[in-house]
Amino acid sequence: MKQIVLLALLIWTCSSAAASRLQQANDAYNRELYNQALQIYLSQEKTGEVSADLYYNIGNTYYRLKDNGHAVLYYERALLLDPSNKDARFNLEYVRERAGLQIDEGNSFFSLWTEEKVSHLSSNNWATIALVSFLLVLAALALYIFSDSTLFRKIGFFGGLLVALVCALSLVCSWHMCDKVQNRTDAIVMAEDATFSTAPRAPKDQSEVAFKLKQGIKISVVDSVKVADKKWCQVKLTDGRVAWILAGDIEII
């Protein structure tokens, strides 16, 4: 019993200290002491006690310091933990539009719309929808089997099919969002005017330069190799282009 009380006291002390640090950071931010606020926020991140709100605040602070690349990175991290964070999503789109960090993805309107809608809920939210849908399927099945009314049997049959479809789609969405969190391949370009190569080495001439991108552009890492003690990442842009860049010039979301 004594050990439980000591553990609870330790947890309460740690949470109180964290809350105090965050309050100090918030106060510094409100006084426009952005560098000071950022140092406190980042020290909190290093403890491993992170949250969507912490990442959102770090993104705001970087934006105030005119560092669009890090602002985009932390807004993306906030949305990875909490896809329903409307403030983080609004600020992310605002920074991207203002800094010209949008890429013509070349995807169909339907695929873009679908990804946007799926990404608005977390894996747990989609799993909850799937569970509720499954229970409704059971209710519809019971209605179909035990009802004497033809109308109710039809409602149970066709309603059950519809809800089963919702359940299946929700499970797929839940898996997709869970995979995004566990297997992080999306990254942000952190180098200023980053140069991408056609091969995993520094371009020897203009013919080996694939393209250049601004800091803050979102990419996806598809492969990596180590060449002469340097790690190179093969990345893919949302418009389908593929190239190589030093791992130190990007940061995984």
Q: What is the pLDDT of residue 6?
A: 43
Cα–Cα separations (whole angstroms), residue 17 to 13, 49, 215 = 6, 12, 35
Helix (H) or strand (E) holding 251: strand 250-252
Q: What is the pLDDT of residue 232?
A: 95
Yes or no: is domain 186-252 CATH 3.40.50.720? no
Q: What is the pLDDT of residue 10?
A: 42
pLDDT by residue, tens only, the chain of 253 residues? 555 544 444 444 445 556 778 899 999 999 999 999 999 999 999 988 889 999 999 999 999 999 999 999 999 999 998 998 999 999 999 999 998 887 655 555 555 567 777 888 888 899 999 999 999 999 999 999 998 899 999 999 999 999 999 999 999 999 988 888 888 899 999 998 899 999 999 888 888 999 999 999 999 999 999 988 899 999 999 888 999 999 999 999 9
Tell me if residue 147 falls in helix, strand or coil: coil
Torsion 185-190-191-192 (CA) sign? positive
**Taking the model in full, what pTM does it have?**
0.79
Q: Contact at 8 Å (CB) between 116 and 110?
A: no
- Strands 209-213, 194-197: parallel, antiparallel or unpaired by DSSP? antiparallel
Taking the C-alpha atoms of residue 190 and residue 215, their distance in angstroms, rounded to an integer, is 5
Rounded to the nearest 5 degrees, what angle is found at the Cα of 97, between the Cα atoms of 243 and 31? 115
Q: What is the pLDDT of residue 151?
A: 92
Domain ranges of the chain: 2-99, 111-182, 186-252
DSSP string, 81-118: H-TT-HHHHHHHHHHHHHHT--------HHHHHHHHHH
Q: Contact at 8 Å (CB) between 230 and 200?
A: no
**Any idea which fold 2-99 has?**
1.25.40
